[in-house]
Chain A
Amino acid sequence: MSSIGTGYDLSASQFSPDGRVFQCEYAMKAAEMSGTAIGLRGKDGCVLAVEKVITSKLHEPDSGRRIYTIENSIGMVVCGLITDGRAVVNYALKEAQSYRRQYGQTIPLKILNERLSSLFHAYTLYSAVRPYGVCIILTTWTEENGSEIYSIEPSGVSFGYYGCAAGKTKQGARTEIEKLKLSSLSARELLNEGAKIIYRVNEDSSDSDTKFKLELSWVGKDTNGIHQMCPVNLYEEAKAAASAAMEQGDSDIE
């Protein structure tokens, strides 16, 4: 960034002369520092997969979760500053609760996405606050609307996706996702595909020797529309499929 030090990056409430808000871009950088997370939207459900980097041998592998459950059917994954992420998760839980109190039903993902986007955006408008240093991916599956995935950036920009990636190697992950025929894959199959992609992008990245734990969750017909962490047997199967694919890839190179 050539404009660093020009003084236009000190506040989230000031544009640079060429029309950028540097604080937003820095927040995006912060969000890109964490391990990759992907969301895949299949024909009968969605899958979230995360490369949760374990920074110390002394950490418990289950701690520092990145996938959260908002409401029964809504899953959310956080990329970036984990503490900012928790604040966003709390806000999302509150929004979901208040919607249910008013209307007696689960908040539609579209509405939750709008409300969270507004929150993110509000944090780019004032000099007294900084933007959230996180990207989030929201997912659900309902009988009426089928699979849905939304992703929100620190700037408050959000889109609906067929498949999306955030975090360190999001470019690589996106390329991998584009190879999949998402609309014809079931959630069950996407578990394996998700695991494969996470393992692959981890190996291709510069710090492939760092330890990470794969986090997998899904929501869809198979889970009766409940978002949950992937059951142990399917998790192991997905991991095995990923390892097999990796070895396959290695032998191809040889």
Chain B
Amino acid sequence: MSNNGINFTPLWNNGPVPGNFYNFPQNQVKSNSIDDFGVQRNSGPITTGTSIVAVRYDKGVIIAGDKLVSYGNLARYHNVDRVFKINEYITLGMSGDYADFQFIKQYIDENILADFSMDDKITLKPKDLFTWLTRILYNRRSRFNPLWLDMVVGGMQTESEPFLGHINVRGRAYTNDVISTGYGTHLALPLLREYSEKGPLDEAKALELVKTCMEVLYYRDCRGYPKYSQANINDKGCTVTDQLVKENWDLALSIKGY
């Protein structure tokens, strides 16, 4: 016998077990419903824009992003702007959930209008918008209901001082000379850094660099698109233009074995 011949019989049956929680027989609650574990908030983006590429050069900022909004892997909406002129001093590029962006863009535009109505010669500057967006995104993530956005704010803080900053879905924010979001973090950022680390870029070099990045992104990113909009902002003003990646698929003929 395992108990050295002594027979332990339980003192009682069908009752509380020592060392365990006890539920009174009439009071048993089944706790398996999803409702018992709080609320499930949105857990991901639906319609999305892919990468943004942005460079701060010595006298200004360039932000570029393609014109595609995808529904998962489906190229759902073509010809949609993801790079915007906010006012004479600010441009904004977005990737992430496009509906969330439309929501926040309305607030930005309202603010710009209220700012205009003040008619006091004081205008919103990129750093102001950057900080404001930071607060909004951080606030939303703190409520466990984030706006699924990766945004790039660029512009002229003063006449001679370009500004470039990035805010992510959780409100984490930083400024840098080169910024990219989405797949661009993997594909474009190494390229951008290779040049920016050598010292400040000039406008021509920055334009060329952005062009290369958009090309690489188009070839490599499944959610890429050859049409892209490009904002260029400097002391001369802010312009947003449509660009096109020059496609060359000659290489495809030599790829074999798939």
Binding site for B on A (CB under 8 A): 68-72, 93, 97, 100-101, 228-229
Contact = CB atoms under 8 A, between A and B. Distances in A.
Contacts of B110: 97, 100-101
Interface residues of B, number: 7
B116 interface: yes
Contacts of A69: 116-117, 119
A218 B174 CA distance: 42
A150 B113 CA distance: 22
16 contacts: A68-B117, A68-B119, A69-B116, A69-B117, A69-B119, A71-B113, A71-B117, A72-B113, A93-B114, A93-B117, A97-B110, A97-B113, A97-B114, A101-B106, A228-B119, A229-B119
Contacts of B113: 71-72, 97, 100
Contacts of A97: 110, 113-114
Nearest to A226: B116
Interface of A is mostly: mixed
A195 to B, nearest CB: 20
A70 B106 CA distance: 18
Contacts of A101: 106, 110
A101 B111 CA distance: 12
Given A72-B113, A97-B114, 11 more contacts: A68-B117, A68-B119, A69-B116, A69-B119, A70-B117, A72-B116, A97-B110, A97-B113, A100-B110, A101-B110, A228-B119
Interface string B114-139: 10110100000000000000000000
Contacts of B117: 68-71, 93
Counting chain A CB atoms within 10 Å of each CB, the highest count among B113, B116, B117, B119 belongs to: B117
Interface of B is mostly: helix
B84 to A, nearest CB: 16
A191 B151 CA distance: 44
A236 to B, nearest CB: 18
Contacts of A100: 110, 113
B101 to A, nearest CB: 16
Contacts of A72: 113, 116
B43 to A, nearest CB: 28
A68 B120 CA distance: 11
Counting chain A CB atoms within 10 Å of each CB, the highest count among B113, B114, B116 belongs to: B113
A72 B116 CA distance: 7
Interface string B80-114: 00000000000000000000000000100010011
B35 to A, nearest CB: 33
B177 to A, nearest CB: 35
A229 B119 CA distance: 9
A154 to B, nearest CB: 24
A69 B114 CA distance: 10
Contacts of A229: 119
Contacts of A68: 117, 119
A215 B113 CA distance: 22
Contacts of B106: 101
Nearest to B117: A69
Contacts of A71: 113, 117
A69 B118 CA distance: 7
The 3 closest A-B pairs by CB, nearest first: A69-B119, A69-B117, A93-B117
Nearest to A104: B106
A10 B117 CA distance: 37
Contacts of A228: 119
Contacts of B116: 69, 72
A101 B114 CA distance: 13
Interface in B148-201: none
B81 to A, nearest CB: 16
A93 B110 CA distance: 11
A195 B114 CA distance: 29
Nearest to A92: B117
Nearest to A227: B119
Nearest to A217: B119
A69 B112 CA distance: 13
B93 to A, nearest CB: 22
